[in-house]
Structure 1
Amino acid sequence: MPPKKNDTFLARIKGNLHEMHPTERRLADFLLSFPGELASYTATELAQLAGVSNATVSRFIKKLGYESYDEARRHVRTDQKTGAAIYLLGSKTKNPDELINAHINQAKDNIDHTFSMTNLKEIDQLAETILAARRVWVIGFRTSFSFANYFQWQILQVIEGVSVIPQQGETLAEHIAGISSEDCVVFLGLQRQVSGNIQLLNLIQSTGARTAFISDGNEERKKGLDWHFHCRTAAPGPLFNHASLIALLHLIAVRVIELAGPTGRKRLAMIESLHETLGDI
């Protein structure tokens, strides 16, 4: 079967395995394990890595339905943005010092880039809205769910009405029906996003609630959003580096606490007193 236009790069390989010659199959096996390498290397370099000829690489690319090697590279780079860890694996092993430095430097670059597009005025506007809201809803799926819980735990110290949704066994409709224009929604939409994210965002906006969307993609700011923060999460390995996201959520939470005023400090003092009473460390 000819490859479909919307097939992923890996799907194209798997769909053509039965038609491949032995050397093409060797290249296919290599790319099934390290598909991201096609985006990182020239055709000649890829041929050397896989132990095949340049001609094999050319035939292979044509068999997958691409007009050129550059077209295939662009497709792989697009697939890398979906968050699939397999696309971020590399076939070459770095020495320990190189590996540590690569991760540290990438984390620093991510934080610098993220905060170059963020200003304290926007963060303070969101913090003040959170404090004034009737209720705060923090939404996250998959990876985003963990960070949604982190953010809730931080701001719960000064505000009571904050919920992470959806919890296990719950439907979103049950919660969206309760969101009002007096509320604030913090929506974490990290890769990989679930299908229906945009529809959900539209439904939330229709409630009139003030909405902050935090993403790690390169999408343009969606119309109607009160805030849209972009966090760079590039990484030298198979998993996204979320250092910039944690830094952003930390700063927002700190400003919520600092701007909470006497009421917030009273709740914070009471919590600390209860920690001591309960013997919490």
Structure 2
Amino acid sequence: MTQKQDSSFLSHVRATLPKMHPAERRLGEFVCDFPGELASYDAQELAKLANVSKATVSRFVRRLGYENYDEARKHAREEQQTGSRLFLNMPKMDDVEGSLAANIVQGKANLDRTFAAINQSEIDAVASCILAARKTWVIGFRAGHPIADYLRWQLLQVTENIVSVPGAGETLGESTASIQKDDCVIMIGLRRRVAVIDTLLTQLTGKKAKLLYITDEGVAADSRPSWHFRCYTAASGPLFNHVSVMALCHMIVLRAIEISGGRARARLRSIELANDQMDEL
């Protein structure tokens, strides 16, 4: 195979489009819009979907540098596992009930697969770490950023020594420079992950702080953090399903409240009293 796999399948197709003949370009544009079709169908089926000949499909994959269609489809399938939302199937607009049922089934499957690999003792260890920490840092990027904010907000019910970073206009260095070995760090790295995550993992490991790394299932098990929880995010539509990530956050907060006992109840009473005094429902 002459095509280099150090670039993504889609980026290679886009880069090659200007060099293609009209029929090949039409097929290339179709593949860019619906790459999941190439990953799922054989050459004849793809030709019919894109309204081109099977010979055009053969010329198309050779122009991309693949020896044959199966090799191109293999690369597309590999990329399908790593993150482009374009590879996810689009729901059919005329099957609303079927779409709802498929999403519910997929969400349940994600929960089952996620928690089959995470045991109670691990969740308890994370909750205890948060309660004992000098300070807890929650770090999130892209899709993980609002989830990190949500987790920090929920954990405020049981501890005040918690912050989510980076804040607006802040650099990572301004926050990570303050992390100490008595701290707890929770980093949420969902696809597509930013390039700095791997460097940040190494840096945080060097600080000796306890580290929980929450990712999707596309990340291989990482031995650097104290805990690595992999959440399944497969979906029946064009957006990743983060129900298992939110459920994991809920479990961590719930166990922190349960383990802290009287301390959590006292803080919750203080919060409710302050809410009542300010007439906040």
**More displaced 10-residue stretch of structure 1: 85-94 or 111-120:** 85-94
**After the TM superposition, which residues 219-230 of structure 1 pair with which residues of structure 2 at under 5 Å, given as runs?**
219-230=219-230
Instruction: Tell me, yes or no, if the aligned pair for 2:180 and 2:207 is still in contact at 8 Å.
Output: yes
**After the TM superposition, which residues 7-86 of structure 1 pair with which residues of structure 2 at under 5 Å, given as runs?**
7-86=7-86
**After the TM superposition, which residues 1-281 of structure 1 pair with which residues of structure 2 at under 5 Å, given as runs?**
4-90=4-90, 93=93, 95-281=95-281
Instruction: Tell me, yes or no, if the aligned pair for 1:133 and 1:184 is still in contact at 8 Å.
Output: yes
Regions of 4+ moved over 4 Å:
91-94
Report the CA distance between 1:4 and its aligned residue: 4.6
Report the CA distance between 1:167 and its aligned residue: 0.5
**More displaced 10-residue stretch of structure 1: 258-267 or 129-138:** 258-267
Q: Distance in 2 between matches of 1:107 and 1:234?
A: 8
Instruction: Tell me, yes or no, if the aligned pair for 1:191 and 1:217 is still in contact at 8 Å.
Output: no
Which stretches in structure 2 are left out of the alignment for 5+ residues? none
1:132-152 Cα deviation digits (max 9, x unpaired): 000000000111010001101
Pair 220,153 (structure 1): closer, same or farther in 2 beyond 3 Å: same
Report the CA distance between 1:47 and its aligned residue: 1.2
State the TM-score, normalized to the length of structure 1.
0.94
Instruction: Tell me, yes or no, if the aligned pair for 1:37 and 1:90 is still in contact at 8 Å.
Output: no
Partner of 1:187: helix, strand, or coil? strand
Report the CA distance between 1:174 and its aligned residue: 1.6
Identity of aligned residues (%): 46
Q: Distance in 2 between matches of 1:91 and 1:243?
A: 19
For 2:200, the aligned partner's letter is L
**More displaced 10-residue stretch of structure 1: 128-137 or 76-85:** 76-85
Partner of 2:208: helix, strand, or coil? coil
Q: Distance in 2 between matches of 1:224 and 1:19?
A: 44
For 2:119, the aligned partner's letter is N
Report the CA distance between 1:238 and its aligned residue: 1.0
Report the CA distance between 1:83 and its aligned residue: 3.0
Instruction: Tell me, yes or no, if the aligned pair for 2:202 and 2:224 is still in contact at 8 Å.
Output: no
Q: How many residues matched?
A: 280
Report the CA distance between 1:169 and its aligned residue: 1.1
